Amino acid sequence: MSTWYEKAVFYHMYPLGMTGAPKENQDSENTVSKRFDELDLWVGHMKKLGCNALYIGPLFESSSHGYDTRDYKLTDRRLGTNEDFSHFVKLCHKAGIRVVVDGVFNHTGREFFAFKDIQQKGASSPYTSWYKGVNFGWRSPLGDSFGYDAWQGHYELPCLNLQNPQVKEYLFDVIRFWIDTFDIDGIRLDCANVLDFQFMKELRQQTSNMKEDFWLMGEVIHGDYSRWVNPEMLHSVTNYELHKSLYSGLNDHNFFEIAHNVRRLEAIGTKLYTFVDNHDENRIASKLKLKSHLPLAYLLLFTLPGIPSIYYGGEWGIEGMRTNYSDTELRPQIAMSDSKDLHCDLTDFVTELAHIHTAQPEFAGGRYQELLLTNRQYAFARHAKGSVVITAANNDDQPADLSIPVPIGASSAENLMDSSMIPIKDGRLSITLSGNEGVVLKIMEDQ
């Protein structure tokens, strides 16, 4: 029996950006905003789009961008109260949407209680071992009386010591609190590539007992993904390799790059979290040299192995590039009331693909099989018992005639995009794709 996350189509929200929250959290303890009222309006949109899961974050009370945590048991006051977020999760669950939140466990902000205690008490603080590399023999660049390890040299983000049993127990208690209080369905682990492996193993054991089918997904950019995705550790990690090959392969008219990457990751590919853009990456609409390739990027996202995710605004093809000083363009403010003006053909295409993905069992972990590959044409199958779905794509500006071998005995194929039927003759499917066009075909085995 498959789990909910094997069938998931994710929507990805960066709430501080999309609601236009202040860049700095300067509100007093008695001042809480009501921006969840705006986020509540997105639930119906996600459902209509075909999403049945949400990754939202960061949410922990923080000082600025959301990853410098102040308080792990409060939702960021720039968004709303714990009760506001609880209401939001209930709305999502009522709409059939699972909720996964950001878990920022590699580091804290400098306003977190344990770090403040070290600032105040020095070496006598009981929390000196909660952080990595605490050393009273030198001063930090920010003027502290001690030095410490900081994430990538950013001293506003002191690194937690995840080998400390007290730290681990504290964080496990935090997760238990978020499950008990908000009924979340999973956690995306920020900076999972540098998290302590033993911590993640214990995290898997702990969360398995907290809630059935609780999902652990990690942010990993480079490396052998199977080091993290295995029965002892995480269920999934971010598939940055596929992300890179998608836009690069389309830009270079080189489907070989994409197919090679899929084959390389075939053993765990169906478990990986796939995306074409996110809150740290330039928008796919800005990365692609040809806007006509944008639908192809989403076609491949939804039909290649993986758990697909739409980053908010992607369904409207919005653009955005980071600068040397700011990620703001990647995380823009968008009100749900703007959606009518933003709606376009891509929105309808993405919606169609999302519904196809959730309706067809082949995409819930189904085996991948390459059928046809040239620089500019690509066809592959995803298998289920007694059926396959074939995706065919043409990234050339000119039409292309394709003759695709069909891996099961069948007499016809249904075009899932328009319900038309295509005959299969001598085990092959002949179709003509227009320039920069793709198609998704359902084939049932003859009885």
Do 403 and 351 lie in one domain? The reply is: no
Kindly indicate the confidence band of residue 1, based on its pLDDT and cuts at 50, 70 and 90. low
Q: Which two tokens stand for residue 181?
A: 């209080």
Structural domains of the chain, count: 3
The pLDDT assigned to 109 comes to 97
CB-CB contact of 157 with 149 (8 Å): no
The 10s digit of each residue's pLDDT in 425-434 is: 999 999 999 9
Check pLDDT > 70 for residue 206: yes
* Residue ranges making up the domain that contains 156: 111-160
Q: Which two tokens stand for residue 416?
A: 């899932």
* β pairing state of 412-415 and 421-425: antiparallel
- When pLDDT is averaged across residues 154-172 and rounded to a whole number, the result is 98
The 10s digit of each residue's pLDDT in 48-103 is: 999 999 999 999 999 999 999 999 999 999 999 999 999 999 999 999 999 999 99
300, 334, 359 - which closes a domain: 359
Do 318 and 386 lie in one domain? The reply is: no
**CA-CA distance, 353 to 349, in Å (whole number)?**
6
Mean per-residue pLDDT over the chain, rounded: 97
Do 149 and 251 lie in one domain? The reply is: no
Do 125 and 86 lie in one domain? The reply is: no
User: Which residues, 6 or more positions from 256, have their beta carbon under 8 angstroms from its beta carbon?
Assistant: 249, 373, 375
290: CATH = 3.20.20.80
422: CATH = 2.60.40.1180
Do 334 and 215 lie in one domain? The reply is: yes
127, 160, 193 - which closes a domain: 160
Do 263 and 410 lie in one domain? The reply is: no
Do 189 and 278 lie in one domain? The reply is: yes
DSSP string, 378-430: EEEEEEETTEEEEEEEE-SSS-EEEEEE-SS--SEEEETTT--EEEEETTEEE
3-state helix, strand, coil in the chain (%, to 5): 35, 25, 40
Q: Which two tokens stand for residue 259?
A: 């197919």
The pLDDT assigned to 447 comes to 76
Do 130 and 270 lie in one domain? The reply is: no
Nearest residue to 135 (alpha-carbon basis) of 125, 116, 149, 124:
149
The length of the chain in residues reads 447
The pLDDT assigned to 31 comes to 83
Do 336 and 408 lie in one domain? The reply is: no
The 10s digit of each residue's pLDDT in 313-328 is: 999 999 999 998 889 9
**CA-CA distance, 285 to 273, in Å (whole number)?**
20
One-letter amino acid of 348: D
359, 378, 393 - which closes a domain: 359
pTM confidence score: 0.97
The 10s digit of each residue's pLDDT in 176-196 is: 999 999 999 999 999 999 999
The pLDDT assigned to 182 comes to 98
Check pLDDT > 80 for residue 416: yes
| Cis preceding linkage at 22, omega within 30 | no
* β pairing state of 69-75 and 60-62: antiparallel
The pLDDT assigned to 78 comes to 96
Do 227 and 344 lie in one domain? The reply is: yes
**CA-CA distance, 327 to 94, in Å (whole number)?**
33
Check pLDDT > 70 for residue 134: yes
The 10s digit of each residue's pLDDT in 7-48 is: 999 999 999 999 999 999 986 566 889 999 999 999 999 999
CA angle 239, 240, 243 (to 5 degrees): 95
The 10s digit of each residue's pLDDT in 389-414 is: 999 999 999 999 999 999 999 999 99
Do 102 and 124 lie in one domain? The reply is: no
Do 60 and 10 lie in one domain? The reply is: yes
CB-CB contact of 306 with 239 (8 Å): yes
Q: Which two tokens stand for residue 90?
A: 């209930």
